Amino acid sequence: MRYLLILINLFIFTELSLAQNCDFSIFGTVKDAADGKVLPGASIKLIKENQATVSEIDGHFHFYKLCPGNYTLEVSFVGYSSKMVAIDVKGKTDLTISLEPSSSLLNTVKIIGSKVNETPLQSTAKLKDRDLALTRGESLGESLKKIPGLNSIQTGPSVSKPVIHGMHSNRVLIFNSGVRLEGQQWGSEHAPEVDPFLAHEIKVVKGAASVQYGPDALGGVILIEPASLDFHNTFKGEVDFAAMSNNQMGALSAKVEGANKTHTFAWRLQSTVKQAGNAKTADYVLANTAFRELNGSLTLGYQKGHLSTELFASSFNTKLGIFTGSNIGSTTDLQEAIQRPRPDIIGERSYKIGRPYQDVQHQTIKLKSTYLFDKLGKAGLQYSFQRNIREEYSLVRAASRSGYQLQFELNTQNLDLYLEHKPIGNFTGKVGLTGMFQQNFYDGSYLIPFFDSYNTGAYFIEKWSKKRWEIEAGLRFDYKHMQAKLREVPLDNNSPIITPAFNFNQTVGTLGSSYLLKEGLKVHATIAQAWRPPAISELFIDGIVQAQAAYIIGDRNLKEESSLNLSTGISKTSGKLTGDLNFYYDFNQDYIYLQPTQELKLTTRGAYRVLRYVQVDARFYGTDAFLAYQLHDNLNISVKYSGVRAYNKANNNFLELIPADRTSATLSFKIPDLKIMKSNLLDFNVQHVAQQTRVNPNAEPLLPPAAYTLFGADFTSNIKFAKQMIGLGLSAQNLFNKSYRDYLNNFRYFNDDLGRNIIVRLNMKI
């Protein structure tokens, strides 16, 4: 917590020291030029100042802490022509900006009211623009580690899963293009089946968000959002390329899109291909860690009058190797492997994928329609279908066994109906009904059973906004039924078949508020409930999970898990000093987690450490911090910190697999434009990860690895080549090729983490 106190003092001291003459402000209102009505949700950018905001429910907007001088505002709103406004700021400036309806949209779109916020009034973060571009080619889990409070739990170099405030898997929901992602997400070794190249923006809601997004959102929600279809451009395209030195990976992603001349129909076609070889630590190559990926998506859109319809279809396909050194022959060999400084099996540069490996396919279809009612608001209906097929090929002794050892097929259907009502005074809101039906099948060795499941839910969210205040409240009820089919003794083929059924339901609520302080600071506070029923895997799993190098055992007596989340924070988005400070506290009743043990189990497939699902009362608390300061027009420094503490209240000990404290700093230089190189930006960064000392020493066979510090650099530029602008990105990760191990890597017992990685990224728009 020492880092937190330093950051808070720095934040307060610097803010006070900057109180010079730059205390001027701009207050404005955005209106429709035709009828004079205010336009909530309009985008207002302060050009060359790197500041932006949106108009509030009453059309008002404001910028604070401005120095005297000339400024230019860019104002835009869907369905209206953008407008540039020049202002001479000499004090407090008030103005009204009127936007003209776009002539190309007059016959097709009617703007009604304001859009209900898609994210609640709690700590949120985004990856977009340059920050997102600098993650191209990386997995979703690795990409999100740039955000304070987010981390990833890894299974070797090829599998990475997002962690929010110490929670992951069934406690973090992922929405891909508006569809709740449903795969075999119960396993920390099961990476999300999404293509980050599809994203135009990635939003993260930190903390409990079950009211808006449904059960399981205890840790938070990740929203992967493609760009909206462009109904006004008959044809355009974009190509992204990424190459990495560490695993010799190449990735190519391309998309083309267009629309008809009447602006009623639009389409987009996108595809990504990746191939990577074996990854390398600072000193050796990790055997069988190659992977390949082939993805594609198609989006079709239609709009006319008040009706809008969209069809989205995607396919995700990957084959990824699992480090061979995690497969151990006996309990004695396992103990020796854990104590060994480097693995007994050293790989070589190769793209070959052998056993053990995973083969995963995920298909999604979504059909969504919305209708704008003049007096009521916007109503929406969405149906989606997902099929997830996962095959796992273990390292087996019998050479004749060429097929998979495990196959899972999960089919999920979702139906969502909602209404966003028109503003009523200062109120906006949303009410909705949700339903989900799932069927799971398996083949091969037993790990989890067949099951059917259906969920139903109903919710409402209402927000009151006036001047500087926003208050949001919501309520939700969910019911879930699950029925499994398995043998009473799963691994005994002579045991009778049983069909146990489970019913869970709970009502949760949320209350949040934010206030915009006079000096431009915004504070927020939220109290939110969340819950989730135990997953079938947590109840019934019994077997080897090769990718975790573990034998995992479930508990059929687990109950639903409940959480009460308290969070508060302060953010500053204007002036030379910007930043966020966020604090949270979670009360988790009947928290379900996979507890490491010191047990070792010998099976016909080798020796494995034993993990068990248990249930305890737990407490999580922590903080995320981000501060940025503009030292000069061309020089900027930023600091990030995240720390989380988690306790098992049953034994007053620490919970396992909680991220260690992380602190990072970045120094950014704006390099003057050259003849063919524009928007040049160079970053140097350093990240320090502390040793995780808050562990139960009796729960794991090896103490957490030592602290480590990594250095890196990023350079981006727009290069003019043959009348075409090409975006260039160069990155160096682990610049000095340091050997280290991360506590959140399931294979930390067997091998080091990745060594130096040089990345080249190119982007070209057509």
pLDDT in tens, 715-758: 999 998 888 889 999 999 999 999 999 999 988 888 999 999 99
Q: Positive or negative, the Cα torsion across 347, 187, 118, 518?
A: negative
- 530 bridge partner residues: 563
Name 638's Cβ contacts closer than 8 Å, sequence gap at least 6.
626, 627, 628, 629, 665, 666, 668
Per-residue three-class SS string for 559-627: CCEEEEEEEEEEEECCCCEEEEEEEEEEEEEEEEEEEEEEEEEEECCEEEEEEEEEEEEEEEEEEEEEE
CB 487 within 8 A of CB 79: no
Task: With beta carbons less than 8 A apart as the criterion, state whether 764 and 726 touch.
Answer: yes
Tell me the average pLDDT of the chain. Answer: 87
Query: Which residue carries 């509030």 as its tokens?
Result: 56
Over residues 2-12, the pLDDT tens digits come to 544 444 454 44
Helix, strand, or coil (residue 102)? coil
- Strands 69-76 and 43-46, by their bridges, are antiparallel
Domains in the chain, please, with CATH? 24-99 (2.60.40.1120), 124-222 (2.170.130.10), 223-765 (2.40.170.20)
> Considering only CA atoms, which of 745, 711, 750 is closest in space to residue 731?
711
Spatial strand order of the sheet with 69-76 comes to 51-54, 43-46, 69-76, 83-89
Q: What share of the chain is helix, strand, coil (3-state, %, to 5)?
A: 10, 55, 35
CA distances from 98 to 28, 39, 52, 89, 543 (A): 11, 9, 18, 19, 65
Per-residue confidence (pLDDT) for residue 92, from 0 to 100 = 74
Question: What is the predicted pLDDT for the residue at 400?
Answer: 45
The predicted pLDDT at position 89 comes to: 83
Low-confidence ranges of the chain (pLDDT < 70): 1-22, 34-35, 48-50, 57-58, 78-79, 101-120, 187-188, 327-334, 397-401, 547
Please report the pLDDT score of residue 21 as a whole number.
56
Q: How many angstroms separate the Cα of 117 from the Cα of each of 192, 279, 304, 581, 654?
A: 25, 42, 24, 22, 37
Beta bridge partners, 252, equal 241, 273
